[in-house]
Structure 1
Amino acid sequence: MTRAHEEEVLARIAKGLVYTESEAAFQAPRRRTEQIFEYNHTPPSETEKRRSLLVAIFGSVGERTVLLPPFHAAFGSNVHIGDDFFGNVNLTFVDDVDIRIGDGVMIAPSVTLTTTGHPVHPSRRADFGRFSEPIVIEDKVWIGSNAVVLPGVRIGYGSVIGAGSVVSRSIPPMTVAFGTPCRVVRPITDEDLATRTAGHEAVPFGSSGGPEEEAGEPGGSVRIGRSVVRECR
């Protein structure tokens, strides 16, 4: 493949148009499969080695990053992570194009962030035909277990995505959203500053599975009016 052809394929990918496995094969050297395998088999005590591997795997990675193995990525080099990130086990990045994650983001177990989908008509899926659109997760977002974030989605600052959600459209900042498809349920307000606090009967949230889980209603839930809706576990 000539350089001009490579640039044409990259331009098509950037526009979210369909491209094939053969057309994109020139990008194979950017896959970090060996380093990801090594990271997933590195003992927890070897913190410096883990850190150096994350720097080698990702396009960029901030400070105080916690990523529990195993994790998986199509490339790794197209993932950009900010400071104070917590990612629980079985996090999957389908990063054929950029996945950009801000500061202070928490992601629960078995979440998939996929920038890539496939055409509906089978004839267009020949040679693994696909399209890709970037994902952006802004600062302070919390994504619950088993959620799937689809191509082209932006999740706004501070928002909470409930467990098991399929996020097919962008979510505005400072909102609680969950469901299949994922929809905004309510805003996050100053009333939430009193939740999960001793002596308060307020809106309990589920756990990210992170290192500072608090006690509360079993399994994690959100109270809306008189009903309790399972949310983030």
Structure 2
Amino acid sequence: MEVVNINKVSKTRNSSLLKSKIYKIKSDPSLRKNVHKIKNKLSLKTFRGFYVKSKFKSCGKHLTAHKKIRVHCINGSIDVGDDVVFYPFVRLSVVGEPTQKANLKIGSFSAIGDRTEIHCGREIIIGANCLIAWDVVIMDRDYHKLNNERENLKPVYIENNVWIGNRSIILKGVNIGEGSVVGSGSVVTHDVPKRSLVVGNPAKVIKENIDWKP
């Protein structure tokens, strides 16, 4: 009696099935085009991730970097946590002084929205679970001098679970407390207490003891 090798038969069937699917893709122009599109997108996404990571001093797991991310780092460092998302056209500029390096840190599970700009000359720390909307500007410097005085840089600290609304501006020397929300279009010039809602130009507290979930 002939003994049949079930594993061998199974492999043969799977191989034949795979070959038939490959032939179907090759013979169908529309399917072939879609496969090439997916392949190109995956390759571009992988390249983009490697490029962005190469600019960082350290980077956690599962970084998501969308298109047109610009990273400019001179005499400074950028540290990024796990599961951080950079949406399209984000700009990170970290430029330290000749005698002191600049340091930008972004905590895990934070998201940086479209076209948001972060300008760091001394130190900017963004905590974990922060939601930065689109067109936000965060800076710890003025980028100009008055009366030939030395530029005055002051660090910016954004604690965990902070939501910054679109088109807001966070200026130097500001500390935004944990769990706070900055309303859209606000200009933050002073510290924000924990779990506060601030709006306006300059931003003022309009509600305290708020609670929101990222």
- TM class by shorter chain equals 0.5 to 0.7
Structure-2 residue corresponding to 1:36: none
Shift of 1:147: 0.4
Task: Choose 65-74 or 105-114, whichever is displaced more.
Answer: 65-74
Structure 2 distance, partners of 1:188, 1:44, is: 41
How many residue pairs get matched?
Answer: 148
Shift of 1:74: 2.7
Aligned-partner SS, 1:52 = helix
CA contact (8 A) 2:180 2:210 kept: no
Note the alpha carbon deviations across 1:50-92, whole angstroms, 9 max, x for none: 5623634652110000011312233176210111011111111
Q: How does 1:1-233 map to 2 (within 5 A)?
A: 43-44=44-45, 46=47, 48-49=49-50, 52-53=53-54, 55-56=56-57, 58-75=77-94, 78-117=103-142, 122-124=146-148, 129-189=150-210
Structure 1 distance, partners of 2:159, 2:198, is: 15
Instruction: Summarize the Cα distance change of 1:44–1:144 in structure 2 as closer, same or farther, 3 Å threshold.
Output: farther
CA contact (8 A) 2:94 2:103 kept: yes
What TM-score does the superposition give when structure 2 sets the normalisation length? 0.61
Instruction: Say what the alpha-carbon RMSD is for the aligned residues.
Output: 2.7
| Counterpart amino acid of residue 173 in structure 1 | K
CA contact (8 A) 1:54 1:61 kept: no
Structure 2 distance, partners of 1:67, 1:159, is: 21
Structure 2 distance, partners of 1:49, 1:64, is: 15
Identity %: 26
Structure 2 distance, partners of 1:53, 1:70, is: 17
Structure-2 residue corresponding to 1:35: none
CA contact (8 A) 2:192 2:198 kept: yes
CA contact (8 A) 2:184 2:199 kept: yes
Structure 2 distance, partners of 1:189, 1:113, is: 23
Gaps of 5+ in 1: 1-41, 194-211, 213-233
| Counterpart amino acid of residue 71 in structure 1 | V
- Where do 4+ consecutive residues of structure 1 move more than 6 Å? none
Structure 1 distance, partners of 2:199, 2:44, is: 35
What TM-score does the superposition give when structure 1 sets the normalisation length? 0.56
Structure 1 distance, partners of 2:82, 2:55, is: 11
Shift of 1:45: 5.5
Structure 2 distance, partners of 1:154, 1:60, is: 19
Shift of 1:123: 2.4
Shift of 1:47: 6.3
Structure 1 distance, partners of 2:120, 2:83, is: 22
Instruction: Summarize the Cα distance change of 1:177–1:43 in structure 2 as closer, same or farther, 3 Å threshold.
Output: farther
Gaps of 5+ in 2: 1-42, 58-72, 96-101
CA contact (8 A) 1:118 1:131 kept: no
Aligned-partner SS, 2:56 = helix
Instruction: Summarize the Cα distance change of 1:67–1:170 in structure 2 as closer, same or farther, 3 Å threshold.
Output: same
